[in-house]
Amino acid sequence: MLNISDLSSEFEERRSAILDYERGTSGELEEYKKSIPDLDRADASLNSALPQYSGARIFEPGATIRRFRPAADWNNRQDAMEWVDSVLAGVAVGSADGSQIYPDKNYGLPIAVVQIGSVRNRHTEESGYAQRTSATLITPDEFADAEVYAFSKTFVDALRFALECDALIDMMHTGTGSGRDTDTGRDTDMDDDRTYLLLDGTLVPSHINALPANVKEIYTGAMRRLLDASNETGNPAIGYVDVSVQRDVVTMMRHIYGLPETKRLFDPALFAGMLNWGDRTKAFVCNRDDRRGADSPSVLDMYAEHRGSIAFFYMRMGDLPSRIEFPVWCAGDTVKIDRIADIIRAETIIRGSYPDILMVAHRNAVITTGEHSLFYRMLTRFCTEHGIAAYTGAKQAHKELDKGMSRETGSTDAHRNRTCSIAYGVFK
C-alpha cells in the first residue's frame, strides 16, 4: 500500500527543489522564445554552419508557426467532420501496433508471445477497410541465438518493434498502387496511389543506444527496411509521438544563436504557448546526438544512407504539441507537408484527441490479463502432452491459489484462512 502520509511530507520538504526546477525552466523558455523571430528567417543555408550533431537542421523555410485556418470556420463537430471527410475521402491510411506476453521465469521455459494488430482504411464506399491480427511465439532457441538473457524483456520489445515495422512494410507492398512513378522515380502526388502508414512511436528510437549491440541491430535493421520500403514505394511512413521529450530544435537554436545550454527545456514546451489546436511548426530534419560516448555512433549514424532522412514537425493536438516524423522524400515541399499534417488532424478529430487509426490498431493488438492466463494454461497443457519438463515457481503457485480461492469465497478473510489451512495440511 502506498504510504500517502510519507509522500505528503516529502512533497512539503522538497517543495523548494521542485519550484526551483520550474522557475529555471521558465527562465530558459523565455530566453529561447526571444529567438523564434530569428528562426522565422532561417533557411537551409544555415545548415552548413552547424556541427555534425546539431540536434536538428532546417528543412522547411519561412515562418516557424504555421496556423491551421480551417478551424476558425467551424461552429460545431459536424463542421469539423465535414472537413475530415473532405481530407480523407479516397485516401488510404494504415497503422500497426503490437503487444506482448513476456517470458515468465516462474514457468521455467523462456517462451514469449508477440501479437501485431494492423488496419488499413481506404476511405471509399466500397469494401476498403481491412484489419488483421497475428500472434507469434518467441521460443527458447531464439533467445539463445540472440545471446541474450533467457527471460529478456528488451529482446521481446525489439522483436515486437521489428514485427510492427514488417506489418507496415507488408501494407506498403500490398496496396493497389504505388505513390512513385516507376519510370522517373518521382512521387506521383496522387493520394489514390499512396498509403499513409502510421507508427505509434518515433522513427528515431534513441533509447536503443543503451541496449546491447545485437538487440540494437534488431531496431535499426527494422527501421532501415521500413525506410527502404517507403522510398521504394513512395508510401509515407509516419511516426506519431504523442508526448515527446526531445530537444532537437532547442539544441539547434543553441548552436545558431549562441543560447545557453539547457537540460530542462524540451521542444514541445518551447512551442506549446505559441500553438493553438491544429497549428504546426515548420519542418526540420533530425540530427540528434544520442551517442553513448564520443567514439560510439548515434542511432541516425546506424541508418546508413538514411542518416539525414527523418524530418519532423510539432503539431498541437492536446495540451502539449505532438511530434510528427516522416522521411524527407515523402514531403519535399510545404504542400506535401501540409497534406501529412491534415491527415493527422483528420484522424485525431475522429477520435477526439488521438489518431483513430492508431487506436484501432492498438485495440486489435492488445492482449488482456485473462488472455495472459489463457496462454500459460496452453503452455502448461502443451508441456504435459509432450512430456516436456516444466515447473511453476512457489510464488506463482500461491498467486494461482489465491485467485482460485478468491473466486470461491469472495472474501479476503476466508481466502487467508483457507491458505493457512492448506499450508498446515502440507507440512503436518
pLDDT in tens, 95-144: 999 999 999 988 888 999 999 999 999 998 876 889 999 999 999 999 99
400 bridge partner residues: none
| Residue owning grid cell 530544435 | 249
Q: Quick one: average pLDDT of 355-380?
A: 95
Question: How far is residue 228's CA from residue 329's CA, in Å, rounded to a whole number?
Answer: 11
Q: Which alpha helices (H) appear in 112-212, and where do they start and end?
A: 140-145, 153-173
Q: Which amino acid is at 230?
A: S
Does residue 382 sit within a domain?
no
Question: How far is residue 200's CA from residue 96's CA, in Å, rounded to a whole number?
Answer: 8
Tell me: do 277 and 409 sit in the same domain.
Answer: no
Beta carbons within 10 angstroms of residue 226's beta carbon: 24
pLDDT number for residue 150: 87
> Comparing 6-20, 230-244, 387-401, which segment has the lowest mean pLDDT?
387-401
Number of residues that this document lists for the chain: 428
Of 418 and 344, more confident: 344
Tell me: do 249 and 398 sit in the same domain.
Answer: no
Cβ neighbors of 102 (< 8 A, separation 6 or more) are: 112, 151, 153, 156
Instruction: Calculate what percentage of the chain has a pLDDT beyond 90.
Output: 74
Residue ending a domain, choose from 347, 365, 383: 365
Tell me: do 165 and 239 sit in the same domain.
Answer: yes
Instruction: Calculate what percentage of the chain has a pLDDT beyond 70.
Output: 87
Tell me: do 296 and 240 sit in the same domain.
Answer: yes
Report how far apart, in Å, the C-alpha atoms of 413 and of each of 402, 409, 419 are.
12, 9, 10
pLDDT number for residue 413: 52
pLDDT bucket at 393, cuts 50 / 70 / 90: low
Tell me: do 221 and 307 sit in the same domain.
Answer: yes
Does residue 266 sit within a domain?
yes
Q: Quick one: average pLDDT of 312-323?
A: 95
Does residue 185 sit within a domain?
yes
Question: How far is residue 114's CA from residue 102's CA, in Å, rounded to a whole number?
Answer: 9
What's the distance, Cα to Cα, between the start and end of the chain in Å?
33
> Comparing 58-62, 166-170, 412-416, which segment has the lowest mean pLDDT?
412-416
- Collapse the DSSP code of 129 into the 3-class scheme (helix H, G, I; strand E, B; otherwise coil) and give the result: strand
| Residue owning grid cell 529567438 | 35
Tell me: do 127 and 245 sit in the same domain.
Answer: yes
Tell me: do 313 and 403 sit in the same domain.
Answer: no
> Comparing 204-213, 370-379, 386-395, which segment has the lowest mean pLDDT?
386-395
Is residue 70's pLDDT more than 80?
yes
Cβ neighbors of 83 (< 8 A, separation 6 or more) are: 70, 74, 346, 349
Total domains, the chain? 2
Q: What is the pLDDT of residues 166-220, one digit of tens each?
A: 999 999 998 644 444 434 444 544 455 799 999 999 999 999 999 999 999 999 9
Does residue 376 sit within a domain?
no
Question: How far is residue 96's CA from residue 365's CA, in Å, rounded to a whole number?
Answer: 8
The dihedral of CA 58, 61, 62, 68: what is its sign? negative
pLDDT number for residue 127: 66
Tell me: do 154 and 202 sit in the same domain.
Answer: yes
Of 424 and 275, more confident: 275
Q: What is the mean pLDDT of the chain?
A: 88
Is residue 411's pLDDT more than 60?
no
pLDDT number for residue 106: 85
pLDDT number for residue 179: 45
* Under 8 Å between Cβ of 328 and 285: yes
| Residue owning grid cell 530542462 | 264
pLDDT number for residue 24: 75
Q: Quick one: average pLDDT of 251-278?
A: 94
Reference 65, options 276, 269, 244, 253; nearest CA is: 276
pLDDT bucket at 353, cuts 50 / 70 / 90: confident
| The model's pTM | 0.86
Question: How far is residue 391's CA from residue 205's CA, in Å, rounded to a whole number?
Answer: 37
Reference 315, options 356, 268, 252, 270; nearest CA is: 268
Report how far apart, in Å, the C-alpha atoms of 318 and of each of 33, 70, 198, 346, 362 are.
21, 18, 18, 14, 20
Does residue 384 sit within a domain?
no
Does residue 349 sit within a domain?
yes
Question: How far is residue 338's CA from residue 66's CA, in Å, rounded to a whole number?
Answer: 9
Residue ending a domain, choose from 365, 380, 409: 365
* Under 8 Å between Cβ of 58 and 40: no
pLDDT bucket at 427, cuts 50 / 70 / 90: very low
Q: What is the pLDDT of residues 233-246, one digit of tens each?
A: 999 999 999 999 99
Tell me: do 37 and 167 sit in the same domain.
Answer: yes
Question: How far is residue 312's CA from residue 323's CA, in Å, rounded to a whole number?
Answer: 7
Residue ending a domain, choose from 346, 365, 384: 365
Tell me: do 199 and 324 sit in the same domain.
Answer: yes
Does residue 6 sit within a domain?
no
Tell me: do 407 and 301 sit in the same domain.
Answer: no
Tell me: do 358 and 406 sit in the same domain.
Answer: no
Q: Which domain holds residue 406?
A: 393-428
Beta carbons within 10 angstroms of residue 30's beta carbon: 9
Does residue 330 sit within a domain?
yes
* Under 8 Å between Cβ of 379 and 109: yes
